[in-house]
Amino acid sequence: MAVEFPLLNDIIVLLSSSIVVVLVLNKLKLPSIIGLLITGIIIGPYGLKLINAVHEVELLSEIGIVLLLFVIGMEFSLKQLYSIGKTVFIGGLVQVGLTVLVTFLLAYWGGFTWEASVFLGFLFSLSSTAIVLNILQSRNEISTPHGKNALGILIFQDIIVVPMMLVTPILAGEGGDLWMELLILLGKSKLVVLGTYISARYLAPKLLYVIARTKNKELFLMFTIAMCFVISFLTAQAGLSLALGAFLAGLIISESDYSHQATSTILPFREFFSSFFYVSIGMLMDITFFLDHFIVIIGVAILVFIVKTLIALLAAVVLKYNIRTAILTGLTLFQIGEFAFILSKVGIQYGILTPVANQYFLSISILTMLFTPFIMNNSGAFSHWFIHKLYPKKRLGSALSEEDKKVAGVERDNHLIVIGYGMNGKNLALAAKKTGIDYVILEINAETVKRERANGEPIIYGDAVHEHILETVGLEQARVVVIAISDPQASKAILVKIRELSSTVYVLVRTRYVSEIEPLLALGADEVIPEEFETSIEIFSRVLGNYLVPVDEIEQISDSIRSNNYGIFNKTEISLEGNAQRFTPNLKLVCVPFRNANSDFMEKSIAELEIRKRFYVSIIAIYRNQELITHITSKECLKVDDLIYVSGEKHNITAFKLHLV
């Protein structure tokens, strides 16, 4: 007798359909998200009606959103979140507030009641956290300026959606004491934030340490997932969203030493459940309604794109970001998001949103989601075109402050230009200062420029994609330019502009991944340094050194890898001079502390102890009273609190150590 399990049948249909559609679109080089949305439209209740358990699929999609935000939180940290606090509250308030205001005016002018107009403003002000962060993460752009802007504003939207839900019954003429409910919500939010901080600093690291010590992968997985859903549940009970709770759970784990392991453990589950989310969104669209009202829907969708892009752009400008970052921020947040669908159900429940208006809203929203991957993938090219074709050069010149002009007015020749003042740029500037090399810094973070200029750094606020800015810092007279920013698209745009102005200046580009080397070299970079493999080179150099491989051979391997533009790592065999197999002596160099005041070694000379004869180890050096003694004679005596550097085989060192600790 066959077992009835309707949800399993629907999952099989959903996954099978998704595989076929995504595979076809992959051949056309279209994003997977588009395929999943189209799959939902095809198999949903308004399409071929292949799915019966629509509600259950929506529940699975909620898990996808939770896991997505959980992973994003783990890749962030409390320090990073604090650094974008201004973006969250100022940028988010500007974006949401202006969108609600403009939508209200347009809707009221279009014949909607003032209550419905305000509610539509709520809906259209929300962007898609799931889609935007997923694309930013896949493009390695979350740490870029526009990525941080998008994340900050999205966090604000996730917070503000709860007060919007509380206000909706008031708009419908129902509900209780709004201000009291908002005060209670504010109090709960403060408790949630306090709980997050305490958990991240004190509780989670200890619990994860206990779990990790068991070396049980299943237990670690269960604990990680349990932590995600428990915190999400608690924040939901406090009146906040599940997604925000998942993000906070990720932040808590990010402060521990086990965040990377937790991320790799969760990723497969996130990808699986996220696919349910995109399919469930597509299932909401009534394709017949869409085709019957095609012109109106397309027209309003274009209007939404223009208005939301300009408002998000303005929010970035208010935060004092340059025009390129502002454009990229606008082109990232133009769509309508998943929390708007949840909010729309509340509007229907209280009669503010009619079923017809809701179908218009759903069609417009899904259309903006469908276009999001295309817009975001081409946002860099569009911002480049806009800046160079429509943004007046004179305005760029007038944007320089008096302090900038003073720095730019210094006569320089054969100098170094540092683009980006993060960790790499800061270290490079410090090295240049120590060695007497003349340098100037370009940075697009206004606060960083203000702070570092006060510290005496020759730093200018400006975006290096602008010809005028590069001329201002004397590109043609410079000897070396180092592009040390975390935005790969911006790096390419800057490199192209540099090569348009100068073919002789030496350009070195810092990038994250080895896959970006060839495109950057093709655009004119003289040298590309990928952090990904420089880290690996440092690791294997130390490992080989520990195995006592000769230093010159380690340097030969490192130089060979670099000279091949790191492509040697893509090969299964490495052909280098030297022995394929070598005799590796099992020798260790270990620092052993002398702690045992009752040891039989006390105040005895090395000759008396016969250390080499008894233990087969050699004392290389002794650190005593903040002085390193390297000339060790047989008359030297060992004393308590000495740090003794010993060379020998591991088991012999262990036997020697027993007499000291």
Tally of domains in the chain = 3
| 564 found inside a domain | no
- pLDDT of 592 reads 81
pLDDT digits (tens, 9 = 90+) for 123-159: 999 998 878 887 887 777 777 788 888 988 998 887 7
Q: How far apart are CA 232 and CA 411, in angstroms?
A: 58
Per-state percent for the chain, helix, strand, coil, to nearest 5: 65, 10, 25
414: which DSSP letter? S
Same domain, 381 and 399: no
Same domain, 374 and 465: no
Q: Is the dihedral of CA 394, 400, 406, 412 positive or negative?
A: negative
Q: How far apart are CA 522 and CA 530, in angstroms?
A: 15
Residue 605 reports pLDDT greater than 50:
yes
- pLDDT of 2 reads 47
- pLDDT of 554 reads 67
Residue 407 reports pLDDT greater than 50:
yes
- pLDDT of 541 reads 65
Same domain, 38 and 168: yes
Query: CA distances (Å), 80 to each of 88, 152, 330, 495, in order?
Result: 12, 11, 22, 28
31-60 mean pLDDT: 81
Same domain, 222 and 254: yes
Same domain, 450 and 376: no
Q: Which of 325, 360, 387 is the last residue of a domain?
A: 387
Same domain, 376 and 432: no
- Residue 231 pLDDT grade (very low, low, confident, very high; cuts 50, 70, 90): confident
| 165 found inside a domain | yes
- pLDDT of 574 reads 44
Q: Per mean pLDDT, which of 96-100, 342-346, 518-522 is the most reliable? A: 96-100
Residue 579 reports pLDDT greater than 50:
no
pLDDT digits (tens, 9 = 90+) for 66-101: 777 777 777 666 666 677 778 888 999 999 999 999
Domain that holds residue 407: 395-511
The mean of the pLDDT values for the chain is 79
Same domain, 301 and 158: yes
- For residue 129, give both structure tokens: 């956290």
| 461 found inside a domain | yes
- pLDDT of 125 reads 94
Same domain, 632 and 652: yes
Place of tokens 């250390």: 611
Same domain, 429 and 480: yes
DSSP string, 351-402: TSS-HHHHHHHHHHHHHHHHHHHHHHHTHHHHHHHHHHHTS-HHHHHHTS-H
| 583 found inside a domain | no
Residue 430 reports pLDDT greater than 50:
yes
- pLDDT of 181 reads 67
Higher pLDDT, 233 or 561: 233
Same domain, 267 and 302: yes
| 60 found inside a domain | yes
| 534 found inside a domain | no
Q: Which of 454, 485, 511 is the last residue of a domain?
A: 511
162-167 mean pLDDT: 76
Residue 597 reports pLDDT greater than 60:
yes
- Residue 543 pLDDT grade (very low, low, confident, very high; cuts 50, 70, 90): low
| 302 found inside a domain | yes
- For residue 569, give both structure tokens: 């790592």
**Residue 620: CATH number of its domain:** 3.30.70.1450
Same domain, 175 and 297: yes
Higher pLDDT, 533 or 340: 340
Q: How far apart are CA 44 and CA 287, in angstroms?
A: 10
Contact between 510 and 488 (Cβ < 8 Å): no
- CB-count burial class (<10 Å; 0-12, 13-18, 19+) for 167: middle
Beta bridge partners of 483: 419, 509
- pLDDT of 109 reads 93
- pLDDT of 572 reads 41
267-274 mean pLDDT: 73
Contact between 157 and 96 (Cβ < 8 Å): yes
Q: Which of 493, 511, 529 is the last residue of a domain?
A: 511
**Residue 504: CATH number of its domain:** 3.40.50.720
Residue 502 reports pLDDT greater than 90:
no
| 494 found inside a domain | yes
Higher pLDDT, 526 or 401: 526
- For residue 661, give both structure tokens: 């600790």
- pLDDT of 389 reads 65
**Residue 82: CATH number of its domain:** 1.20.1530.20
Same domain, 244 and 374: yes
429-444 mean pLDDT: 86
